[in-house]
Structure 1
Amino acid sequence: MKVVSRSRDTLTYYSELFQIPEVLLADANPSISKVLPTGIEVHIPGFVTVKESREESTLNDIALRFQLPMDALLLLNQGEKEMVSVPVRIISPLLAIEKPYEYQSFLDDLEILSLHYPFIQVESFGKSVLGKELLEVRVGRGEKVIHYNGSFHANEWITSAVLMKWLNDMLLAVTNDCMLCGVDCLSFYENVTISLVPMVNPDGVDLVLKGESAAEGKLDVVKMNNGNPAFYAWKANIRGVDLNNQYPANWEIEKRRKIPKAPAPRDFPGEVFLSEPEALAMKELAERRNFERVIALHTQGKEFYWGYEGHEPEHSASMAREFEERSGYRAVRYVDSHAGYKDWFIQEFKQPGFTIELGKGINPLPLSHLPGIYEDSVKILMAGLYM
């Protein structure tokens, strides 16, 4: 929602008028001062407007019916109009994520959230093989940066939906100053920056959900898929490289022992490490942001992996216990696997890293599993903020 400032209006006054934390107003309007010039547009996050007929109701009637301060109506309705704009607080999720979560769905949902919660920051940090923007969403203003990602693997696209639902729920909690999983989200907003990359592998996700047309005629994905026109088992990027086997953490071991020796639906680690633009962009993002910890969402197994070759710090163990207790997922310290994003992060930064295997079944997990998956995983996502 936008309003037009009047003489002597301030962000502090708007915070009191709309009961929105002032820090959110400041971040939604970064280019303006606390004392507002007259006649500029100001974003008020967490609100929408509805229209009421001026002929049928007086402003006083509308204020009483919607339980609003009169000045909130006056601010939105400067000048004579037939219809009255009424500010209405958003108190329920804006996104319906129970759908095949292709790249365009992600973009559409991100646009909705950016419009109504303009204090979030969205930044492109690279492009996929087919030129799709790789997008990072940041929420908060703290120096400690905690990173979450999803859809490294194409047929695990449900992880993107989980992260977007969590983002929507967090934004609701922050703007309404309420709790999520017993956690005060506004406190974390001021002390932590959350970095989310909900869809690392957009080309692959679209291939799984839309079929051969997603390759835009630029790659012979059917040939890589052994002649099968159905791509439900595809994990790799559009060039047939497994992005979670692309990192310089004993990559040579994976290269030597993986059965695919050429581009394939899964497991091929590439001819060299970091050959794929998506993998390289994720590496450079971690180096630029200096993440405090990394939580990567995958499917399936209802377990998570938290160590790598003894490089993990001591406090990773207590975090793993907390995740296990909260979610019921099984904590696994070491697995015979290398070259993953979590592996490289732990090795490179000596900070906690986790690969969370959401749900249980056969990939891609059906949408009917999403409510249960989210109920379990949101406890880990929130615990990742304060451990």
Structure 2
Amino acid sequence: MLDNGTYLYEKMIQDSWRLGSGHSALSVYSIGRSVLGRELILLRCGCGPRHIGINAAFHANEWITSALLMRFVAELAEEYKREGGESEGLMREFCQTTTLWAVPMVNPDGAELVQRGLDSVHPLWRDKLLAWNEGRNDFSAWKANIRGVDLNDQFPAYWEEECKRRGVAGPSPRDYPGPFPLSEPEAVSMERLTESLRFDAVVALHTQGREIYWNYRDYEPPHAEKLAEKLGYASGYKPIKLSGSDAGYKDWFISQYRKPGFTVEVGLGENPLPAETFDGLYTELKPLLLEAMLL
């Protein structure tokens, strides 16, 4: 899935359209564009009445989650297509009872910046980005989108509280919630998609910590903790009741719909997680994602 230790936007686009053309159970859509005009891709796999939303790479230096989610979607579609074998009945059951909606790269501009540096952006942006990055040419720690806004601090769920907590007044590599909620096109696209599809549950893939955050200010449904325990049992990750965090996608989803929402922190280490850990990360994540299909 990775290409020379990277997973660039162009590779994700190629993989998406290849999957869409080769599998009857999978469709590809565009849900909007990033600040720099890159299409935000949505993959649909299955046709069941239960609708699960899974997204990846809200944060630029967590781009490896895009490749992890794409591998899961590819395997799901391929095993559904394959005739015979023990997996067929299980995968067909998943795809007939659940529709998976996957957004593999919420923050394509940021993911490109982390992996390719300033070569990935128009010259008009380079001076701004260098200033926001305190003059450093190394963008490997960058979490934000290309305008220096943390996309997972962008949602109208106690956004003002998150601004006070973060204390970041302007564009930055991380932790700037933006000038107002949903100021960024990537966040708007995710909000509109969610409003349209009204998922039964959502999972947001991040790195790192091997933890599962399942609550938000007591808005979560009563069975959310039990569901988190199931995800934890499948993966070995630890369910955590989190406090002191607002304005995230999962937070907004829970508060808006009172349905289960989960942030999954994949793996351990320092972001960006090394490409050589990809296979191990996928081995522990895949059972969690299969369990999520049953939420």
When the two structures are superposed, what TM-score results if normalisation uses the length of structure 2? 0.95
- The aligned counterpart of 2:282 is 374
Instruction: Give 1:147's aligned amino acid.
Output: G
Match for residue 342 of structure 1 among 250, 257, 282: 250
Q: 1:213-362 to 2 correspondence within 5 Å?
A: 213-219=119-125, 220-362=128-270
Alignment gaps of 5+ in structure 1: 1-94
Match of 1:207 in 2: 113
| 1:179 CA displacement | 5.2
Offset of residue 131 of structure 1: 0.5
Indicate the SS of the match to 1:386: coil
Give the Cα–Cα distance (whole angstroms) in 2 for the partners of residues 247 and 183 of structure 1.
39
Distance verdict in 2 for CA 1:342–1:378, change over 3 Å: same
Q: Counting helix residues as a fraction of each chain, which structure ranks higher?
A: 2
Whether the aligned pair in 2 keeps the contact of 1:300 and 1:357 (CA below 8 Å) is yes
TM-aligned CA distance change 1:253 to 1:191, over 3 Å: same
Give the superposed CA RMSD. 1.5
Q: Specify which structure has the bigger relative contact order, considering alpha-carbon pairs within 8 angstroms and separated by 6 or more residues.
A: 2
What are the equivalent positions in structure 2 for 1:103-114 lying under 5 Å apart?
A: 103-114=9-20
Match of 1:176 among 82, 104, 107: 82
Gaps (5+ residues) in structure 2? none
Deviations along 1:133-177, one digit per CA (max 9) or x if unpaired, are 011000111222100000000000000000011111111210125
Alpha-carbon distance, 1:203 to partner: 0.4
Secondary structure of residue in 2 paired with 1:211: helix
Q: Which deviations, in whole Å up to 9, do the C-alpha atoms of 1:260-303 show, x marking residues without a partner?
A: 21000000000101000000110010000010000000000011
Matches within 5 A, 1:178-197: 178=85, 184-197=90-103
The percent of aligned pairs where both chains have the same amino acid is 42
Matches of 1:335 and 1:329, distance apart in 2: 18
342-351 or 309-318: which moved more? 309-318
- Partners of 2:23 and 2:78 within 8 A in 1: no
Counterpart of 2:32 in structure 1 is 126
Look up the match of 2:70: 164
Kept in 1: contact 2:17–2:28 (CA 8 A)? no
CA shift, 1:123, in A, is: 0.8
Which has the higher mean CA deviation after the structures are superposed, 97-106 or 312-321?
97-106
Contact 2:155 2:249 in 1 (8 A): yes
State whether residues 52 and 293 of structure 2, in contact with CA within 8 Å, keep that contact through their aligned partners in structure 1. Answer: yes
SS at match of 1:184: helix
Moved over 3 A (4+): 95-99, 177-180
Asked if the contact 1:159–1:299 (Cα under 8 Å) also holds between the matched residues in 2, the reply is yes
Q: Displacement of 1:110 after TM fit?
A: 1.4
Q: Does 1:143 align with 2:49?
A: yes
Aligned to 1:345, what secondary structure does the other structure show?
helix
State the TM-score, normalized to the length of structure 1: 0.73
Please identify the structure whose Cα radius of gyration is greater.
1
Q: Is the 8 A contact 1:148 1:195 kept in 2?
A: yes
Cα offset, 1:97, TM superposition: 6.0
